[in-house]
Structure formats: structure tokens, C-alpha cells
């Protein structure tokens, strides 16, 4: 008897992202009749996502089974795929604390969701929650359940979950590889579809080891573009990294600036200006979407009732400190809500390939099982992966250029200590992670770092496991 593939979205109250993911899934014929279960702890947002999902199915003229389920165990039962998009603690109180408390010590951040003291705290409050979810998947999910994770800090979570379970694989998914390739194609005025590349490393610190157009190496053109001074102002950090390390990194400049010790220093305002680094960028984005959400909700319920110009005016009236492109992106998101077009996310591609056997290649985050020889075995790496009925199969990359591997290892050490802090229930490893973090250690001494960790741990006490206290 035929049973449609069951896909569970945890964190489905992220309504816009949920809509994009479902649009991708239902645009593929093999998944058009899938059984989709939406789960979130916010009932209002869950109800809205359910209404949006039903309307999207009508627009696409597909007939899936759609349900909303506030009970996580019931949602996961019998699942073939779980897509995870949660954020433990949200903007308030968690993210606010991650930015405001370090400021008291002179430590400034831009995004704080991957590494740095903010990334460490986000990992500590997120990994235990996801390990509990993993237990549900192991005991209640289908025989070949695959967990697709979009949650940051990606490398830490992918590492922790795959170290815990071999029955349910967790594939970490990010869009930085394909988005950056598109950005570089635009910089070079070359159609993205004609770009050929290979990329590998760790999440948010993977590098294009090959970047070509019709067999021609494009790195000389990228270097010439930098020398001409015509690079985008918001991308100065990454072009500087290419100049000094020889290759272009996948994650955005504002992200990358806080993974290394060179760009954000309290006494060096000249560096912030030279490299156009937007401090407190992520809190600004959160404020943008707090302001935008009522517009988005009204547009989702009544298509055509809100205009990008109205939202942009509201955002400017708030005088939110954020990069200009974020205001434009939020405003123009309203027009995207009324259109159904595939995104660049890999989630639907993976599901389709496993269900149908139709091969695809994606970039995924997996454990380093002899994939990159000069990175630590067992850490989380981002590599090209073949996907078919046999699941997600990572590609062996061999060695990365030694300078790139050395740079990545400065981040991998911090990731490992956060994972071990949770696995060993060790508060000491939290201090160790913070003391070895490249950006934190470039600004604070060890006494300051311990005091900062203690203050952050107290602020996050309601979101952290008891065994840390």
C-alpha cells in the first residue's frame, strides 16, 4: 500500500522560510503529494504557517497531506525526513544578552551565531535541545530517517549530533557556497550558470579551491578586480582574505570578520572603517524583522495589501542600525511572498534524490571521515556530496592548501571544546573554548574571559542545562 513520504518541519513558525522550503518541495513532482507536518512551540506562528501552507498548495495545484502538530513526538512519529530551523532563546532574551554583555568588556561582534563568544553561547543552549530531538527521531522516526539541519552554529551542531547517533544522520545545510558563487559571478559579470567550482572546508570557512568559467581560472580576474578598487564596499574583508591566503571564502564579510583576530579591535576604529565592518549587525537584522513581521503577516493573510515601499518607510522611520541591503531585502521580501519560485536551498533536492534515486550534488556539512586529510578526523566539514537512494554520500577532498587548513583549525578547536562541554557536562571546557576563540582572545585577557563567561552563563541560566551550574 502506497504511503507518501513524511516530511516534518521543526521550527515551522519561521513562516517565510517554511513557505520557501515547501514551495521547493512541492514544485518537484515526486514530492507533490507528500505528508508534511509543521511543528513549532509558538501556536500563533504555527497556525499562520499552516494557513500559508494550505494556500501555497492551492496555488501550486498540488495535493499534499498538511497538518500542524504542537506535540513534537507526535510530529516526528514515522517521519522520513526532519528539517530543523529552530532558534533557542530567540532574539530576546538570548541574542540581546550575547551582544550586550560582551560589550561591557569591550568585546564587539557582528553576527555572533557561529563562533566567537556569541556562537559559543548559542551552541551551548542549542545542542542539548537538539540532542533531545535526536532521541525522538531515533525512537519514533522511520527506518531511514534523515535529519536536515539549518540551525547555527552549524559545525558544532552537526558534530555533536553525528557523534551521538549513527542511526539518524544529520546533514548540515547552508546556502553560503551557492550564494557566494552567485555574488562572485555578479562581480565578474559572468552568468552564474556558467561558473564551475569546487569548494571545501568547514561551514562559514570553506574556500573555493577551483573557480572557473569555460575552463578558465577566474582567480586572476578576481585579483584584478580587487586591484582596481571596484569590489563591493560590504565585501572588503573577504577580498582581503583572498589577497592574503590565495583563495576566496564562502561566508560573508561581516560574518568572517569575527572568526579571526585581525579585523575587529576596540582601539582600531580605522580597521572598522577600512573594511566596512558593521558591528551589531545581527541585532539590527532582528529589529528589522520585528518591525517587518506585522507587514509580512498581513501580506500572508491578504496578498497585495502591503507594499515594499510602505515597509521600507517604516524601517527607515525606526532608524535601525543595519546594512542598507538588509532594509532592501526585508522590504522586497513582500513581493516574493506572492510569487512561487524555487530557492537555492538544498533541502528539497536531497529529499527528491533519496526518494526517486535521481542523482544530485550538493554541499553538505558532515563528519570528517577521511574526507579532508589535513583537518582533524571526526570534526564537521563542508564538502561536495552525491545524493541518491543511498542517501547523502560525501566526496573525499584529500588535502586543502596548508594555510587554509591551518586557519580552519583555529576555529575547529573552539567547536570541539563546545561539543565536549556538552558531551562531558563540563563547564571548564566552556572557559577553554572562550579562551581559545581567535576574536575573543585577541581582545580580552584570561581573567576577563572567565568573568565574561560567568556573566553570560548566569544570563542564560533558564536556557542552559542544569549540569553546567
Grid cell 569555460 in the structure block, residue = 214
- 203 and 151 in contact (C-beta within 8 Å)? no
In a domain, 318, yes or no: yes
Domain limit, last residue, from 133, 153, 174: 174
- Measured CA to CA, the distance from residue 319 to residue 119 in angstroms comes to 27
In a domain, 134, yes or no: yes
- Measured CA to CA, the distance from residue 205 to residue 212 in angstroms comes to 20
Longest dimension (CA), the chain: 68
- Measured CA to CA, the distance from residue 3 to residue 36 in angstroms comes to 12
In a domain, 69, yes or no: yes
- 280 and 108 in contact (C-beta within 8 Å)? yes
Cis peptide bond N-terminal to 93, omega within 30? yes
- Confidence band for 364, pLDDT divided at 50, 70 and 90: very high
- The answer to whether the annotation marks 255 as part of a ligand binding site is no
pLDDT at 338: 78
Q: Is the pTM of this model over 0.95?
A: yes
In a domain, 385, yes or no: no
* φ/ψ (deg, to 5) at 62: -120, 165
Query: Helix, strand or coil for residue 67?
Result: strand
Query: For residue 2, is pLDDT > 80?
Result: no
Residues 193-243 have pLDDT tens digits of: 999 999 999 999 999 999 999 999 999 999 999 999 999 999 999 999 999
> In this prediction, what percent of the chain has a pLDDT beyond 90?
92
Residues 121-149 have pLDDT tens digits of: 999 999 999 999 999 999 999 999 999 99
- One-character DSSP codes across 277-323: --TTHHHHHHHHHHHHHHHHHHHHHSTTS--HHHHHHHHHHHT--S-
- Measured CA to CA, the distance from residue 465 to residue 424 in angstroms comes to 12
In a domain, 204, yes or no: no
User: 166 and 301 share a domain?
Assistant: no
Query: For residue 244, is pLDDT > 80?
Result: yes
- 6 and 81 in contact (C-beta within 8 Å)? yes
* H or E segment and range at residue 385: strand 380-388
- Confidence band for 431, pLDDT divided at 50, 70 and 90: very high
* Paired strand residues for 372: 398
- Confidence band for 1, pLDDT divided at 50, 70 and 90: low
CATH number at residue 128: 3.40.50.720
- The answer to whether the annotation marks 286 as part of a ligand binding site is no
Mean pLDDT over residues 294-313, rounded?
90
Domain limit, last residue, from 272, 303, 336: 336
Query: For residue 335, is pLDDT > 70?
Result: yes
Active site includes 429?
no
- 94 and 88 in contact (C-beta within 8 Å)? yes
Q: How many domains does the chain have?
A: 2
Residues 36-89 have pLDDT tens digits of: 999 999 999 999 999 999 999 999 999 999 999 999 999 999 999 999 999 999
Range of the domain at 147: 6-91+109-174
Q: Of 175, 432, 439, 460, which residue is the catalytic one?
A: 175
Dihedral (C-alpha) 443, 153, 239, 278: value to the nearest 10 degrees? Answer: -60
- 287 and 325 in contact (C-beta within 8 Å)? no
In a domain, 138, yes or no: yes
Residues 252-288 have pLDDT tens digits of: 999 999 999 999 999 999 999 999 999 999 999 999 9
In a domain, 34, yes or no: yes
- One-character DSSP codes across 126-161: HHHHHHHHHHHHHHHS-TT-EEEE--SSHHHHHHHH
What Cα–Cα distance (Å) separates residue 451 from each residue in 50, 164, 367, 469? 45, 31, 33, 15
In a domain, 441, yes or no: no
Q: Which three cell numbers stand for residue 120?
A: 559559543
Domain limit, last residue, from 316, 336, 356: 336
Query: Helix, strand or coil for residue 35?
Result: strand
Mean pLDDT over residues 370-387, rounded?
98
Mean pLDDT over residues 298-311, rounded?
89
If one counts every other C-beta atom within 10 angstroms of the C-beta of residue 11, the result is: 23
- The answer to whether the annotation marks 174 as part of a ligand binding site is yes
Amino acid at each position: 500500500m502506497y504511503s507518501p513520504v513524511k516530511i516534518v518541519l521543526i521550527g515551522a513558525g519561521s513562516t517565510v522560510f517554511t513557505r520557501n522550503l515547501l514551495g521547493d518541495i512541492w514544485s518537484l513532482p515526486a514530492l507533490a503529494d507528500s505528508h508534511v507536518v509543521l511543528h513549532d512551540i509558538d501556536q500563533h506562528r504555527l497556525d499562520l504557517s499552516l494557513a500559508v501552507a494550505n494556500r501555497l498548495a492551492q496555488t501550486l495545484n498540488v495535493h499534499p497531506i498538511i497538518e500542524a502538530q504542537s506535540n513534537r513526538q507526535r510530529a516526528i512519529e514515522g517521519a522520513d525526513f526532519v528539517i530543523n530551523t529552530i532558534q533557542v532563546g530567540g532574539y530576546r532574551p538570548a541574542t540581546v544578552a550575547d551582544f550586550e554583555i560582551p560589550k561591557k568588556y569591550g568585546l564587539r561582534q557582528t553576527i555572533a551565531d557561529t563562533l566567537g563568544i556569541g556562537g559559543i553561547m548559542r551552541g551551548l543552549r542549542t545542542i542539548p535541545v537538539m540532542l533531545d530531538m535526536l532521541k525522538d527521531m531515533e525512537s519514533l522516526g522511520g527506518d531511514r530517517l534523515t535529519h536536515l539541519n539549518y540551525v547555527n552554529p552549524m559545525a558544532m551542531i552537526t558534530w555533536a549530533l553525528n557523534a551521538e547517533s549513527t542511526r539518524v544522520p544529520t546533514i548540515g545545510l547552508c546556502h553560503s557556497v551557492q550564494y557566494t558563487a552567485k555574488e562572485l559571478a555578479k562581480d565578474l559579470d559572468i552568468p552564474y550558470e556558467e561558473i564551475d567550482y569546487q569548494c571545501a572546508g568547514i561551514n562559514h570557512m570553506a574556500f573555493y579551491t577551483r573557480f572557473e568559467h569555460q575552463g578558465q581560472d577566474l582567480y586572476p580576474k578576481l585579483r584584478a578586480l580587487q586591484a582596481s578598487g571596484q569590489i563591493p564596499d560590504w565585501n572588503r574583508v573577504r577580498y582581503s582574505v583572498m589577497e592574503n591566503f590565495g583563495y576566496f571564502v564562502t561566508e560573508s564579510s561581516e560574518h568572517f570578520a569575527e572568526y579571526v583576530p585581525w579585523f575587529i579591535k576596540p582601539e582600531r576604529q580605522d580597521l572598522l572603517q577600512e573594511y566596512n565592518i558593521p558591528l551589531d549587525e545581527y541585532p539590527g537584522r532582528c529589529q528589522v524583522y520585528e518591525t517587518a513581521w506585522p507587514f509580512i503577516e498581513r501580506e500572508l493573510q491578504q496578498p497585495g495589501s502591503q507594499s515594499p515601499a510602505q515597509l521600507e518607510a517604516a524601517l527607515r522611520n525606526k532608524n535601525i542600525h543595519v546594512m542598507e541591503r538588509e532594509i532592501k531585502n526585508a522590504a522586497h521580501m513582500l513581493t516574493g511572498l506572492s510569487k512561487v519560485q524555487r530557492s537555492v536551498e538544498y533541502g528539497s533536492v536531497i529529499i527528491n534524490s533519496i526518494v526517486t534515486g535521481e542523482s544530485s550534488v550538493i554541499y553538505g556539512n558532515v563528519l570528517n571521515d577521511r574526507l579532508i586529510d589535513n583537518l582533524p578526523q571526526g570534526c564537521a566539514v563542508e564538502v561536495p556530496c552525491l545524493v541518491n537512494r543511498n542517501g547523502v554520500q560525501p566526496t573525499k577532498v584529500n588535502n586543502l592548501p596548508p594555510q587554509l587548513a591551518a586557519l580552519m583549525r583555529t576555529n575547529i578547536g573552539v567547536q570541539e571544546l563546545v561539543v565536549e562541554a556538552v558531551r562531558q557536562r563540563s563547564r571548564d571546557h566552556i572557559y577553554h573554548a572562550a579562551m581559545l576563540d581567535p576574536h575573543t582572545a585577541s581582545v580580552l585577557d584570561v581573567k576577563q574571559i572567565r568573568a565574561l563567561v560567568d556573566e553570560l552563563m548566569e544570563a542564560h541560566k533558564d536556557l542552559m542545562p542544569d549540569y553546567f551550574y
